[in-house]
Structure 1
Amino acid sequence: MSSIQPIPMKFRVPEIAFPKGWYCVAEADEISADTLKPVSYLNQQLIVYRTQSGAAQVADAYCPHLGAHLASHDGCIENGAIVCPFHKWKWDGEQGHCVDIPYAGIPQSRSLSLTLHPTREIDGMVLMWYHPANAAPDFEPYVSSALQQHKWVLFDSIEWVSTCPYRDLYENLFDTAHIVQLHGASKMPVLRSMEQRAHGLYVDYEIDPSAEQFSMKSLTAHFTGVTALNQLFEGEGWATNFVISTTPLDNERFIEKVRLYVRDLGSKEMNEMIGKPWIERFKFEVEQDFKVLNYKKHLPQPKLCGGDGPIYQYREYANQYYV
């Protein structure tokens, strides 16, 4: 463990800013229609729940009446209505408007409303739209076509809290030199193509079977803006799919969560044979990265050389999400 401590982010990044985009705030199997899940991300207190129709929804956690946290004490959701623990005002979970003030005897009011956030449930995650100026979503998150086909098993998931500058996390994947110098790979990865798509960035990697631990046929990556990543590895008779989300907690820290799906090979033993070495390798390399990234500074004008990889190409892509 390093004895140094990361200095505050205001000294390590050009500005404190969360990029616009879709952020994971819960796992889909963690929420229900009869429970308010309190979470804290992006310097905000939020609640996550399901509406009566079964749709996932994210809302601000504080009651617009007098500021009670809606998931505190006996705050709850009943028959699709969120009940404040303080004065028992009720709010429609689907539309947000006030449906009852028990001691005032007034009808429903659409002028009084909770702040609801655009929400999507995708690939086992609940994603919330964030924009620093509260603008509406201008793109949709990536949905894994691979996970919609065949049968997949969620083999394992791991999460880390990181103090890496947020801009530098996914940029690290385009720093091809560190794959050899830090991780000890025999060759630098080669990006066959980088292509802007509606959801973000598509990357296709050139595969050199002799340089890989596993015999691979293809590796492709889909970025949802700069807030989530789907990596699909395919080989002869097997496939793994990493679903990765990165969500800031506050100005200093974010959570990275990795979910490993294995294409079902028909038995627990066979799935273990594929899944175990993949998750162990991924965990080892991520933790190697964070030993450096957690303390680094984002340099707006780094002194790059020819072998560093397409870092500036990635930055050009990423800049569109910083408003």
Structure 2
Amino acid sequence: MLRLGLRSSASSPGSSFTPCGGSTGCSSAPLVLLRALEDVGYVPEDGRSKARAANEVRRRRKIGDLPPVYPNGWYRVLDTCVLKRGQVRNVTVLGEQVAVFRGQDGKAYVLDAYCPHLGANLAVGGRVVGNCIECPFHGWQFAGNDGKCVKIPYAEKGFICPSVPDFVKVRRWPSCEVNGHIMVWFHCDGEDPQWTVPEKRAITQGEWVYRGRSEHFINAHIQEIPENAGDFSHLNHLHTPGIIFKFLQHEWKASWEPQSEPNTHCAKMFLNHSLILFGHRCSLGDIHVVASQVGPGLVFLDFEQILIGRGTIIQCVTPVEPLLQCVTHTIFYQWNVLPLIPKIILAGESVQFERDVMIWNNKKYVSKPLIVKEDSTIQRHRRWFSQFYSENSPRLQYQRDTFDF
């Protein structure tokens, strides 16, 4: 089932909002492809629904000996365009409820959602007052920049900002807003951000414009998704068949390298894609891609093609809960290229990605895989990725028995 529209957060698969750039009915409007968890990667049997098939897989599948479930790093929580000045949204990220709101100063703030007074959810019925979020239950107000309580309206002195103890506050999540995304920093030990999210100047300066996005929910450990960067052998097996026509095949050549100091949190994959038409290589179909991974949850797929120009797809992987990932692909393309071109690229990328989703949703994690020499990059990638885990990184304590859609 293909759904058009945009969801407000990874935690609310039933809600939607108007996509950035206009209505999906307009030929120049961005393309928005949304997939619910049960839409992709499950094979119903005996007349069962996709939702039931997904529930059964989640309940019965062996999960394996998993690494910690939440690596340290930056993660997307929302798209910039869905949070207007004075708005607040409730989002689930890394198993936590957070209130994401935009103050009257135009900045986006992220706080823990639950009021320390009596536990009301600040993002459900709460309102933005200046650069604070006001609790819908009793009107306590918390500042976006540090989470401290600045007002208890019915207290003896009314506005008592100087008198409120410092411990009366909610946790503030370090955040940034870049490349059209609102990102939060997570570290299991509460350490400050150890790197910044790079800004794509071509986007900021308007050379590349937003042309669409896709969204998928995946039933897997977060490490399974970026690990594809080191798994070259699956490319020419899983991704070779044509998207539409059987006589059109794909050929892939790839390499992967971690980066050196001070960018050890980064790695690059170099990917060359060719089209094989009726058994012969079509050079006009060559696409050169540099996939730059920044931390555990962010990848820039910069690509160039001789006929249709340059652009980037930003892949964001955000854990909603231990074995549920929200993956978005947002495409920005040269403003002077026909909008249909990046839409076709995004649609094609989504088809290829969903072949991986079928695998991820049904596999178990193998901590000590049987590999051959050609698979050595997978182990190198795992060693590189391990830097995002700390001694106190949370591990899966239990497996949920049911999951209702």
Query: In the alignment, which of 49, 72, 79 is matched to residue 20 of structure 1?
Result: 72
**TM-score using structure 2 length:** 0.72
- 2:293 maps to 223
Residues 165 and 296 in structure 1, CA contact (< 8 A), matched pair in contact too: no
- 2:91 maps to 39
1:61-140 matched pairs, under 5 angstroms: 61-73=113-125, 75-106=126-157, 107-108=160-161, 109=164, 111=166, 112-140=168-196
Amino acid of the structure 2 residue aligned with 1:126: I
- Tell me, what secondary structure is at the counterpart of 1:315? helix
Structure-2 separation of matches of 1:297 and 1:121:
35
- 1:318 maps to 385
- 1:271 maps to 339
Residues 69 and 222 in structure 2, CA contact (< 8 A), matched pair in contact too: no
1:170-249 matched pairs, under 5 angstroms: 170-184=226-240, 186-191=250-255, 193-196=257-260, 198=263, 200-205=265-270, 207=272, 210=281, 214-216=285-287, 218-236=288-306, 238-249=309-320
Query: In the alignment, which of 124, 135, 144 is matched to residue 200 of structure 2?
Result: 144
- 2:21 maps to none
1:38-86 residue CA offsets vs partner (Å, 9 max, x unmatched)? 111211110111233222111100111111111223x211222221111
**TM-score using structure 1 length:** 0.89
When the two structures are aligned, how many residues end up with a matched partner?
317
Cα distance, 1:186–1:161 mapped onto 2, change above 3 Å: closer
Structure-1 separation of matches of 2:71 and 2:180:
22
Residues 142 and 223 in structure 1, CA contact (< 8 A), matched pair in contact too: no
- Tell me, what secondary structure is at the counterpart of 1:249? strand
1:261-294 residue CA offsets vs partner (Å, 9 max, x unmatched)? 111225xxx231x213311220111111111111
Cα distance, 1:311–1:177 mapped onto 2, change above 3 Å: same
Cα distance, 1:277–1:67 mapped onto 2, change above 3 Å: same
Structure-1 separation of matches of 2:112 and 2:130:
19
- Tell me, what secondary structure is at the counterpart of 2:97? strand
Q: Which runs of 5+ in 2 are unaligned?
A: 1-41, 45-52, 241-248, 275-280, 391-405
Structure-2 separation of matches of 1:208 and 1:228:
22
- Tell me, what secondary structure is at the counterpart of 1:24? strand
Structure-2 separation of matches of 1:244 and 1:110:
42
Shift of 1:138: 1.4
Structure-1 separation of matches of 2:332 and 2:177:
17
Shift of 1:10: 7.8
Amino acid of the structure 2 residue aligned with 1:234: E
- Tell me, what secondary structure is at the counterpart of 1:291? helix
- Tell me, what secondary structure is at the counterpart of 1:117? coil
1:201-254 residue CA offsets vs partner (Å, 9 max, x unmatched)? 2315264655777333x4212212011111100123611210111111112211
Amino acid of the structure 2 residue aligned with 1:201: C
Residues 103 and 128 in structure 2, CA contact (< 8 A), matched pair in contact too: no
Structure-2 separation of matches of 1:100 and 1:171:
47
User: How large is the RMSD of aligned CA atoms in angstroms?
Assistant: 2.4
Amino acid of the structure 2 residue aligned with 1:279: L
- Tell me, what secondary structure is at the counterpart of 2:225? helix
Please, which moves more after superposition, 143-152 or 97-106? Answer: 143-152
Residues 214 and 330 in structure 2, CA contact (< 8 A), matched pair in contact too: yes
Amino acid of the structure 1 residue aligned with 2:90: P
User: Is 1:2 the equivalent of 2:43?
Assistant: yes
- How many percent of aligned residue pairs carry the same amino acid? 24
Amino acid of the structure 1 residue aligned with 2:263: A
Cα distance, 1:309–1:190 mapped onto 2, change above 3 Å: farther
Structure-1 separation of matches of 2:133 and 2:367:
45
Residues 242 and 260 in structure 1, CA contact (< 8 A), matched pair in contact too: yes
